[in-house]
Amino acid sequence: MDDLCAYANRPWAFVARYLHRRPLPHAAILVAVLGAVICSVSTQYGLKGVVDALGKGPESGQIWSALTVLIIFIAADNMLWRVASLIASFTFVAVTGDIRRDLFRHLTGHSPSYFADRQPGTLASRITATSNAIFTAENMFVWNVMPPCAAAFGAILYVGTVSIPMAAGLFVICGGVVVLMFRIAAAGKPLHHDFAEKAASVDGEMVDLVSNMPLVRAFSAYKREYARFDNTIGTEMKARSRSLLYLEKLRIMHAVITVVAVLGLLFWAIKMWEAGAATAGQVVLVCTLGITILAATRDLAVALVDVTQHTARLSEALRTLLQPHDLRDHPEAKPLVGEGARIAFENVAFNYPDGREVFSEFTLDIQPGQRVGLVGRSGGGKSTLFTLLQRFYDPQGGRILIDGQDIGRVTQDSLREAITVVPQDISLFHRSLRENIRYGRPEATDEEVWAAAAAARCTDFISDLPGGFDTIVGDRGVKLSGGQRQRIAVARAILKDSPILLLDEATSALDTESEEAIREALGNLMRGRTVIAIAHRLSTLKDFDRIVVLDGGQVIQDGSPERLVHLDGFYRDLIQRETIKLSREAA
């Protein structure tokens, strides 16, 4: 979906992209609306015929034919509006669905740094705001912009049947008013964009607060969060008021111009009647058409208010969402092949986007089926190594290989299918336990899901839940304990069954009983796989083949646990600290 980036600063081209997907229903809507407007304006011409027929008396015999024409125009007017509305009811909704699907897919393709710099609620609200803005813009154009424009144009043509100079003058005045309004409205774009940004920040602030309510409650911070949110709301309200006041001045100016123009038109028509140059029916026609033009230009001004604001929100949202992806598949990328899972970091250099350097000429080779534990002080590069291996960032130098294949030249989907991660901070969806476990392999049967849960020692607590496997776990698994969430993550990893396993303190959230319960499951899971584990506890590194000590982005110790325990360094210090801790607990 990277072609969407071309529309970041072209909101109306973005809209046109989706209109072109459904040309026939949109064309049908336009034809029906224009037909309805023509019939509506023609109704007033039909009324003129009725008035003229009445003036000729019953003996003329014209009244019933004139009345029939009027009724046909009225009926066609109403029916064509209903046809247009019926088609629009599913066409416009389908367009919003297309937009949300495409924007969501584009959004999820961004790198972690993109999400780290933005509030999730703000991003989600911008997708909704974009689809709503386009839905409103389509409706405004079809029901509020095009009809008054067409009605004004049609009315001017009918006025031309009475007086060509009068019609020409109306055309010049209406055209000048429309151009003037659009120019003045465009000058107010900074105010409307400021309002759009403030409105998005309110949505982001609300989601951020709701998602962190346990923290607010723990620190009894309601009052200060209320004050902070009140300030955010106040800023948004001021921006909105400035935007609306600017557009209200535009509408007042328009009202003065159109009232003066219509009064002049009526005065002109009456003078023509006094001079015998116009019939009574023509005077009525000019009066009703003058009111039509006044109403049309007024409706256009009102619509302009809404369209301008929605365009600002659309532009602001597109600029934020439609940024190029930092990570894309190489043009010649191929799926990752092989199951040996040998991993090699070759002279890797990496800085985070903020300039912080982590690795420089980093080299590490891990053999297939080897279990490697990563230990070291915080900031040494352990988590960054995981991040680079999953290709959430690209290194600035060197390369990372899996079975001899540069991960920068394989498809991202195939790379991540080959890697299973059991993180420290478990992510669960607000879905059932069954769905969360099956996320590791969507096509898995219920029997396979049950087997994975049993291997991760989940079945005991799942059986105690009222809904069993169908229990909804709540936002991020809030209804489960930390140990239960960790075991669900292990079950998910068992079900995925990938050749590479990354463990990020996978047993840190477990109590001693739970840790022992799943240690055998983890042992079965690790068998025959290449395993890399970040660990700060010796229990995590039990039965590992190799320990790598990282510090400052460099390997300072590398060897078997039996060898490193006899060498001065971080691993030996870790053992000593664990021994002292266990001794104190035993005492």
Domains and CATH numbers, the chain: 2-321 (1.20.1560.10), 338-418+530-587 (3.40.50.300)
- Alpha-carbon gap, residue 59 to 53, rounded angstroms: 10
Nearest to 199 by CA among 93, 128, 304: 128
Q: How many residues does the chain have?
A: 587
- Residue 142 corresponds to which tokens in the numbers above? 């079809």
Give the separation between CA 138 and CA 132, rounded to whole angstroms: 10
Question: What is the C-alpha separation between 402 and 500, in angstroms, rounded?
Answer: 10
d(Cα 506, Cα 302) in Å, to the nearest integer?
59
If one compares 538 and 100, the residue with the highest pLDDT of the two is 100
pLDDT, position 221: 74
pLDDT at 566: 83
Q: Give the C-alpha separation, 141 to 464, whole Å.
A: 57
Which tokens belong to 213? 């309510």
pLDDT at res. 1: 46
H-helix or E-strand spanning residue 545: none
Q: pTM for the full model?
A: 0.65
Structure-model confidence comparison of residues 42 and 521, the more confident one? 42
Looking at residue 343, what is its pLDDT? 92
The average pLDDT across 314-319 equals: 79
Query: In this model, does residue 47 exceed pLDDT 70?
Result: yes
Give the residue with greater pLDDT, 126 vs 587. Answer: 126
The closest of 84, 69, 86 to 37, measured between CA atoms, is 84
pLDDT tens across 548-581, in order?
A: 999 888 999 898 888 888 888 788 887 777 777 6
Determine the average pLDDT of the residues in 511-535.
74
**What integer pLDDT is reported at residue 37 of this predicted model?**
86
Residues 6+ away with beta carbon under 8 Å from 449 = 434, 437, 438, 469, 491, 495
**Is residue 124 scored above 50 in pLDDT?**
yes
Instruction: Report whether pLDDT(379) > 70.
Output: yes
Average pLDDT in the 254-274 region?
77
Give residue 578's pLDDT.
Answer: 72
Mean pLDDT for the chain overall: 80
- On the question of pLDDT at 336 being above 80, the answer is yes
Residue type, 160: G
Tens of pLDDT, residues 3-28: 788 887 888 888 888 988 999 999 99
Q: What is the mean pLDDT of residues 198-227?
A: 72
Residue 2's nearest CA partner among 115, 130, 111, 106 is 106
Residue 374 has pLDDT above 70, yes or no: yes
Is 105's pLDDT higher than 80? yes
In whole angstroms, what separates CA 171 from the centre of its chain? Answer: 43
- Sign of the four-CA dihedral 479, 484, 487, 491: negative
The arithmetic mean of pLDDT across residues 243-253, rounded, is: 74
**Residue 160's closest CA among 15, 259, 270, 278?**
278
pLDDT given at position 192: 62
Q: Is 28 exposed, middle or buried (0-12, 13-18, 19+ CB in 10 A)?
A: middle
Query: Residue 582's CB: how many other CB atoms inside 10 A?
Result: 11
pLDDT at 172: 80
pLDDT digits (tens, 9 = 90+) for 67-101: 888 888 888 888 999 999 899 988 998 998 898 88
Query: 175 pLDDT band (50/70/90 cuts)?
Result: confident
CA-based diameter of the chain, in Å? 124
Q: Cα separations (Å) of 490 from 444, 445, 496, 537?
A: 16, 17, 10, 18
Q: In 118-163, which residue ranges form alpha helices assigned H by DSSP?
A: 120-139, 146-159
Residues 226 and 137 sit within 8 Å (Cβ to Cβ): no
Q: Please check the confidence at residue 518 and state whether its pLDDT lies above 70.
A: no
pLDDT, tens digit (0-9, with 9 covering 90-100), for 385-401: 998 998 888 899 999 99
Q: Give pLDDT, residue 364.
A: 93
Average of per-residue pLDDT across 317-325: 80
Residue 342 in this model has a pLDDT that exceeds 60: yes
Mean pLDDT for the stretch of residues 193-219? 70
**How far is the C-alpha of 153 from the C-alpha of 164, rounded, in Å?**
14
Give the per-residue pLDDT at 527: 77
| In the predicted structure, residue 441 carries a pLDDT above the cut 50 | yes
State the pLDDT at residue 276: 78
Task: Tell me which amino acid residue 222 is.
Answer: Y
Residue 173 vs residue 138, higher pLDDT = 138
Contact 410, 335 (CB under 8 A): yes
- Check residues 177 and 10 and name the one with the higher pLDDT: 10
Q: Considering Cα of 293, then 298, then 302, then 308, what sign does the dihedral take?
A: positive
